[in-house]
Chains A and B, each alone.
Chain A
Amino acid sequence: MEVAIEPWTTLLDYLRYHQKLVGTKKGCDHGQCGACTVLIDGNSVNSCLCLLVSLDGAEITTIEGVATADNLSPEQQIFIEEDAYQCGFCTPGQICSTIAMCNRGEINSEEELKDWMSGNLCRCAAYKNITKAARRIYEES
């Protein structure tokens, strides 16, 4: 798709305010909380720190794009089964991070898994079940 946009527009603001794709959340807006995590060419990134103009030609996947019209993605399903959220605000970013973790395929220990997920903060502190879901997603991928 082609877009005409002011160069200081971040990917996050473009998704939420121009495309109305509000599944991607704005938390800190400074790359510290991970609520805005999306996938660029399969890699998880903080969309609040990416200028849209610099992403010409990239494939961007948001939480809206991980499921099909009728079915949740396996990652979403596992998050539900493991009760891996409380308020749900951080969940889109958490799920995008688990997808990127599977794409990268470099997790060899529990410590590495926790480190991979540490860029996604959860103010409800549902970390125990988030970690459990992330582990299951990685093992079943």
Chain B
Amino acid sequence: MKPFQYTRLSTEDLSLGTTLRDSTILAGGTNLVDLMKYGVEEPDSLADIGKLPYAQIEESDKGLLLGALVTNADTAYHAAVKSTYPVLNKAILAAASSQLRNRATNGGNLLQRTRCYYFYDTTMPCNKREPGTGCAAIKGFNRIHAILGTSASCIATHPSDMCVALAALEAKVHVLRKGETIVIPFDQLHRLPGDQPEKDHNLEPGDLITHIQLPAEGFSEHFEYLKIRDRESYAFALVSVAACLKVSQGKIADIRVALGGVAHKPWKLKEVEKDFFGKEASTENFQSLAEQLIQGAQGFGTNDFKISLVKGAIVRALNNALNPS
């Protein structure tokens, strides 16, 4: 690991306007330290935010406020998450291993990097790691790669399970920017690669995620997080589906479907969901929604199978949400 300068930030540092611009933020470190060992990330300076006051979960009538420094495990097992936001509980527990969930933080989960093999392999070209070098995945082995929202520069996916559930719940992200808190709708946090795949998200240098706001509606009656992967646990999703439903007299009152493992960000199309409001909650309509949601999907050889896999997964997840076991 390349030597670096280490600073532990205090609340006072933030109120004094200490800039984070020139440092890489360290929270749980489960992804960052790993990337530093591989030489994928080589920061000159780390700013440790571990002692900042964002390690609480606060309940209110507006929903739940998840501190950015609460661990993934403490979030998943929180009583209100289990009872009101079970799709989030299920998504977090489908991710990583118990050791990683015990250490990884909520803020860090949002900002984790792709697990594209070529991003990790510093001997290979990768526009995300080293802009302008090319994308080795497009003509390479791309079994885990994206089928939606790709570009000629990058076909990497966002690896998080938690983010797929947060997208479905339409969470909001609180960000400290130049001393002011701004609120970013979840679907605007991450971005598609375009011609700047080195940018995973729309945050600016120096921004600090402080909280994730869950809305009051948690879809605790009709939900599913379906994760399909090469082994039953401790593996990233080939495809995953967070499905949330509200049903009234057999008709869809609200429907949310977010996909993981298929794009550079959790994939969710509000305009498609809205088309199904008021329609019968049926397999036929779920199939139609799946078709529309993945319209334009394109495989790159070894990941072609994802197109039919994700279609089936969407329908299965919605049927499971409709008829909980």
Residue ranges of A at the interface with B (Cβ–Cβ < 8 Å): 6-8, 10, 29-31, 34, 37, 40, 43-46, 49-51, 53-54, 56, 97, 100-101, 104, 106, 114-119
Contact = CB atoms under 8 A, between A and B. Distances in A.
Interface in B232-246: 232-234
B177 to A, nearest CB: 24
Interface in B21-68: 26, 29-30, 33-34, 36-38, 46, 48, 50-51
Contacts of A7: 4-6, 46
Nearest to B3: A8
B1 interface: yes
A118 B2 CA distance: 31
Interface of B: 1-6, 8, 26, 29-30, 33-34, 36-38, 46, 48, 50-51, 71, 73, 77, 93, 96-100, 102-103, 232-234
A69 B5 CA distance: 40
Contacts of B233: 114-115, 118
Q: Nearest 3 CB-CB pairs, A to B?
A: A119-B97, A7-B6, A43-B102
A49 B6 contact: no
A79 B97 CA distance: 21
Given A29-B37, A45-B102, A104-B77, 13 more contacts: A8-B2, A10-B33, A30-B38, A31-B30, A45-B99, A46-B30, A51-B6, A101-B98, A115-B93, A115-B233, A118-B98, A118-B233, A119-B98
A46 B100 contact: yes
A81 B8 CA distance: 45
B22 to A, nearest CB: 16
Q: Helix, strand, loop or mixed for chain A's interface? A: mixed
Contacts of A29: 37
Nearest to B77: A106
Contacts of A44: 98-99, 102
Contacts of B33: 10, 49-51
A10 B33 CA distance: 9
Given A43-B102, A44-B102, A56-B8, A6 B48 contact: no
Contacts of B48: 53-54
A75 to B, nearest CB: 15
A30 B234 contact: no
A86 B269 CA distance: 51
A30 B100 contact: no
Contact of B1 (A8, A45, A54, A115): A8
A15 to B, nearest CB: 15
B15 to A, nearest CB: 21
B77 A34 contact: no
A29 B37 CA distance: 9
Contacts of A116: 98
Contacts of A106: 77
Given A30-B37, A106-B77, A50 B97 contact: no
Contacts of A10: 33
A17 B3 CA distance: 18
B8 to A, nearest CB: 7
Contacts of B46: 7
Q: Which of B4, B50, B77, B96 has the most CB of A within 10 A?
A: B50
Contacts of B99: 31, 34, 37, 44-46, 97, 119
A49 B98 CA distance: 14
Contacts of B2: 8
A49 B8 contact: no
Contacts of B1: 8
A50 B33 CA distance: 7
Contacts of A115: 93, 98, 232-233
Contacts of B34: 30-31, 49
Given A7-B46, A49-B33, A115-B233, A54 B98 contact: no
A3 to B, nearest CB: 14
Q: Which of B1, B26, B33, B234 has the most CB of A within 10 A?
A: B33
